[in-house]
Structures are given as C-alpha cells and as structure tokens.
Amino acid sequence: MEIDVTHLLQQKAQTAAIAKGVSLTSWLAHLVVNVLRHHPLLNARFDGDGLILYETVNLGLAVATAEGLVVPVLHGAERLSLDELGSQLDALAKTARAGKLSVAQISSGTFTISNLGMFGVSHFTPLVNPPQSAILGIGAAHPVITLTETGLQQMQYITFTVAADHRVVDGAAVAQFLGDLRQSIARLSLIP
C-alpha cells in the first residue's frame, strides 16, 4: 500500500532537534506497534496445533551487518514511548553491527520490520521470519504530485508491503492492518 507520509516526515523533522535518535524507522515502528494491538493475528504464530496470540509486541528490526542480516528484538515495544523506542532501536542496531548481540537480543520476536528505504529501494517483498506470522517491508519515500483542495502539491509517499503466513492470517486482515496504519500516519497531520 502506498501511504502519504508527508506529515510524518514533517513531524520527524520537528522532533529530530529535540529527540536525537528518533529516526523515520523509530516513528514507523512506534506507529506499527500501536496498530498491531488491534490486529493480533499479525502478532501471532502457528505452532502446528493451533494459533498462539502474543499479548506483547517483541519487535524485530532487520539490520544489515558486515556478516549479513540479523534481526535484533526489542521486547515489550508497546510499553515504550517514541523516544525510548527510538533510542533502544538505535542501541540494538549498533550492537548488531558490532557483532555483540546476545541470544536474548535475537530471540522471541513476534513481528519484524525491514526498512530498505534508506538504500533507495522503492518497494520489495520481505520474507517472514519464522515462527512469526508477518513482516512489514518499508520502501523509500518518493515525491508524488497530488491534486488537493488548494491545488497541486508535492506529497511524499512510501510503499509498505506485508508478507504473511497464511496459516495464521489472510490477505484481507493484512489489508485492514495496512489501512489502519495509513489512518494512524494520517492522524499525525492533526498534531500542531
């Protein structure tokens, strides 16, 4: 789904001076964690006998390192403020790149985000990180000229792609998740 992130990028720019370490990925992770609370099938797994729905969001973040891709996990992400989430994700990514992650820091993930936008990738299909039921791929922001009530405006859009384990969740539920994420991002335009 292509989502207008113009106001999100403005919010990020405004908070960057105040809260260092609050990146676009941090903002998106914070919004995703909040939306996941209303979509438990995307924060679940199939264990062979049935579904396990998690009460907490242990957010995995795909990180490229010199040795390859690793997915450090931020446990209990739903309990963190935007600033806390941003600083902890940043610390986990640095630890991952240094090759010093503990087993606990790569275990028990319930949902993963993979952001290739920083590499200029416009959209891609991420692979589900078993035994999780879903993963969100985030592409690069790109300008789109849009007709608004006040005329033509340049807006910024990002393509979000969810890959899901269909033993747990189907395409309609994924579409609802993406629609709710779009609404959550749109609500940022109401913040002064």
Alpha carbon distance 105, 53 (integer Å): 21
Q: Which of 4, 75, 83, 166 is catalytic?
A: 166
The CA radius of gyration of the chain, in Å to the nearest whole number, is 17
Please list, in sequence order, all residues whose beta carbon lies within 8 angstroms of the beta carbon of residue 183, skipping any fewer than 6 positions away: none
Q: List the beta strands (DSSP E) in the chain.
A: 2-4, 44-46, 51-53, 59-61, 63-65, 68-70, 73-74, 111-115, 134-138, 142-148, 151-164
Active-site residue, 4 included: no
Going from the C-alpha of 179 to that of each of 32, 39, 77, 84, 162, the distances in angstroms are 12, 11, 21, 26, 12
Active-site residue, 123 included: no
Alpha helices in the chain (DSSP H): 6-16, 24-36, 82-97, 171-187
Q: Could you give the residue numbers annotated as active site?
A: 166, 170
